[in-house]
A and B are shown apart, each in its own frame.
Chain A
Amino acid sequence: MSIDSDTARKVAKLSRIRVEEGDLPELAQKLSSILGFMEQLKDVDVTGVEPMTSVTPMRLKRRADVISDGNQQAAVLKNAPDAREGFFAVPKVVE
């Protein structure tokens, strides 16, 4: 699969990464070569093989339904560029 400049522009936008127009062809070429590398996996016959989800036979860890966290408004907001009255304040986003 190869990535063209339009696809690269779209992926950059979806990822909220600013890419200058002139840099798009090179980015597209790099993404294509990564995908090409990955595509070697298609040569392997995996018929009847269950997808592996873990290298060790582990069960998903679970938690009891107990309140054990929270009440740390100051800590949660500490790194925010702007916070007011207990809220994160961000540039206006309107539906």
Chain B
Amino acid sequence: MLDLTYTAPTPKVIAGAKHDWELVIGMEIHAQVSSNAKLFSGASTTFGAEPNANVAFVDAAMPGMLPVINDFCVEQAVRTGLGLKAQINLFSAFDRKNYFYPDLPQGYQISQLYHPIVGEGEVLVELSPGVARLVRIERIHLEQDAGKSIHDMDPAMSFVDLNRTGVALMEIVSRPDIRGPEEAAAYVAKLRQILRYLGTCDGNMQNGNLRADVNVSVCRPGQYEKYQETQDFSHLGTRCEIKNMNSMRFIQLAIDYEARRQIAILEDGGKVDQETRLYDPDKNETRSMRSKEEAFDYRYFPDPDLLPLEIEQAWVDDIAARMPELPDAKKARFMGAFGLTDYDASVLTADLESAGFFESVAQGRDGKTAANWVINELFGRLNKVGLSIADSPVSAAQLGGMLDLLASGEITGKMAKDLFEILWTEGGDPAEHAAKHGMKAVTDTAEIERALDALIAANPEQVEKARVNAKLAGWFTGQVLKATGGKANPAVVNAMVAQKLGL
């Protein structure tokens, strides 16, 4: 496999009124586990059901109901840990995080504070070709999602739907290794890509399937390096946590706003209070949830309803043996096996569907040509009309068939573009369309030769110019292509022009 090496990006610097500042960001990503049933009950996890239809008595915290863990949710967490090259803890345990909220009927969330199932790992976040940030993962733990409250259906009441209550979440906690708003968005995107490759989370941010809490602090240049050397947080500034973000754009805007807010306080001689804040996209500002600070005394303790979760190394090994190829490996393979550029390989491995499509087109064909057609023609066209690769009117087999005609010289590049149009609108077999529409490259060199001889005879001054400056020989190629109605293969014509003019 191709070994890719990266340099670290330069951190974002914000110029304050007095001096420069850097950002330090850590994230907690809440990723809903892809499973049929909930973490501790047999109710469905399907999104968009009738309110309170996907609710077992355990989820509604009816007296006497006991949680029973869903084996597959544990497997998904382990798979995610393996995908992030993380330590898998064979012993983990569940704790109760106590707080009151109407959409949390138990009065506590079952989580894993003291003994998470996954320990330290890492994510490589590429920012541009050759430039990437290695973000350390501190831990991943399993926990229950809360329900949903709707506040705008009645002026005096909040409406509570427990369908999401008890759905399994993975909380993926990073170290403060992210150094700017763009890096934060790229980190979420990379994590989302890995989770989707693994099939452990759908990553649908609109549905709240993937949400982020963002810890932001600012420091003077040089301080962060001291922290990295010593892992001593006292070198860093006081952080604020921005809760519950589910849009890449808002994450960036919120971080930028929050950093500037903290810089203004510090340059004014003030002190940043460690607190939880909410981002308001309408006003583009963060505001304090200070009123709730006192309520956030979670009084964690081990959940007496659940024995510790002990898993076996053999089971973990079995999951490891069934791991799919992950984005970094696939990208490196595409670059190595198909000779793709870093950029093209990134585009084609962005999601599994695109990668699979490209691979079946490229199989047994020229990889670079296949990549050009898939990215420039197909993706370009799909983007324009807002279709995903899964809904592409042109199949991989059709595009591959067309590329075969092109590679064998049966059709020219120009004909291929016309043929692509026909396949897009009508579908069908590329070879049949080519025959039906008279798309056939002139391979008869005698015909090309005749046209070229006539041109040379009629344009002695162009011949002279071309002999002085070989670049001008292109004029003959162009004229021959014109004379043959675009049906001649440009490469063949070029070769013949060079030969005839003695270049």
Show the binding face of A for B, using Cβ within 8 Å. Answer: 10, 13-14, 16, 53-54, 58-73, 75-77, 82, 84-95
Contacts and interface: CB of A to CB of B under 8 A. Distances in A.
A87 B72 CA distance: 29
User: Which DSSP category, helix, strand, loop or mixed, fits chain A's interface?
Assistant: loop
A67 B43 contact: yes
Given A59-B310, A69-B56, A87-B150, 17 more contacts: A14-B100, A58-B307, A60-B69, A60-B306, A60-B308, A65-B71, A66-B37, A67-B37, A67-B43, A70-B44, A70-B54, A72-B55, A76-B52, A84-B154, A91-B156, A92-B155, A95-B289
Residue picked from A14, A75, A77, A91, most chain B C-beta under 10 Å = A14
Interface in B145-196: 149-151, 153-162
Contacts of A66: 36-37, 42
Nearest to A83: B52
Contacts of A82: 157
Interface of B: 35-37, 41-44, 50-58, 60, 68-74, 93, 98, 100-102, 149-151, 153-162, 278, 289, 294-295, 297, 299, 302, 306-310
Contacts of A54: 307
Contacts of A89: 154, 157-160
B70 A65 contact: yes
Contacts of B159: 84-85, 87-90
Contacts of A65: 35-37, 70-73
Contacts of A61: 68-69, 307
B156 to A, nearest CB: 6
A73 B278 CA distance: 33
B162 A76 contact: yes
Contacts of A72: 55
10 contacts: A60-B307, A60-B308, A62-B68, A62-B69, A70-B55, A73-B53, A84-B154, A86-B51, A90-B157, A91-B158
Nearest to A84: B159
Contact of B158 (A73, A75, A90): A90
Contact of A16 (B56, B69, B100, B153): B100
A12 B33 CA distance: 35
Nearest to B40: A63
Nearest to B54: A70
Contacts of B60: 76
Contacts of A94: 151, 158
Contacts of B57: 69, 75-76
B220 to A, nearest CB: 34
Contacts of A13: 294
